[in-house]
Amino acid sequence: MPHAASRYDGPVNPRSDLTLAQRKRQLVSDELTEAALQLLAQKGFEAVTVDEIVATAGVSKRTFFRYFASKEDVVVRFLADLGTGMHAELAARPVEEPPSAALRHAVSAPLAACADHSERALRVVQLILRTPALNARFLERQAQWRDDLTAALAHRLGLTPETDLYPRLAAGMALSAFDAVLQRWSDSDGAQDPAALIDRAFAVVGPGLDAVV
């Protein structure tokens, strides 16, 4: 679920030091993202057209293609934003914090950010997990997330990611926990609380994350 701060994930708000023109572009991008994700979640990926998205957002088709290459690109950027939010959260955690706690906060950030719109966020998650083309892009993005978290964790611990196994293994464990939570949340149709699921997942992986550092 950064970068765009859509109402579905909102990991980072637009920066105050952006120029007026940049803020306007960010606003248009956010409105297009909101409209696209809402329609895709409601109707399904194949059923939604770019024409419907621009009509809902109140912009022209030309404007849409100024920001996105396709409707799939909207979801890909949404996923990129989720990873950016995780990386930023991990980088901001106190250096003395145990790796398990820092990583739990990092992968919890996207879920916490969408808490105010949990029903809509759930539909987007289900859309991604249940649409083969989008799920494939989700898996691709997770590989990038792992690389980014690996680098950030290695920096925190003074390790070398090219030679030390721990940062990459730890990042992979944290993302496996995140993925398991999303799957369980999706399968339960929102009946299970993702925050509680994250806590349960890290109760399992946390001891291993902290045992070797």
What's the rounded Cα separation, in Å, for the pair 191 and 196?
11
Dihedral angle computed from the Cα positions of residues 67, 73, 74 and 77, in that order, rounded to the nearest 10 degrees: -90
Taking all residues of the chain, what is their mean pLDDT, rounded to a whole number? Answer: 88
38: amino acid identity, one letter: Q
pLDDT at 27: 87
132-159 pLDDT, tens per residue? 999 999 999 999 999 999 999 999 999 9
Domain ranges of the chain: 78-211
Q: Which class is 78-211 in CATH?
A: mainly alpha
8 Å CB contact between 82 and 110: yes
Reported as a single tens digit per residue, the pLDDT across 15-62 is 456 688 788 888 888 889 989 999 999 999 999 999 999 999 999 999
pLDDT surpassing 80 at residue 72: yes
What pLDDT shows up at residue 125? 93
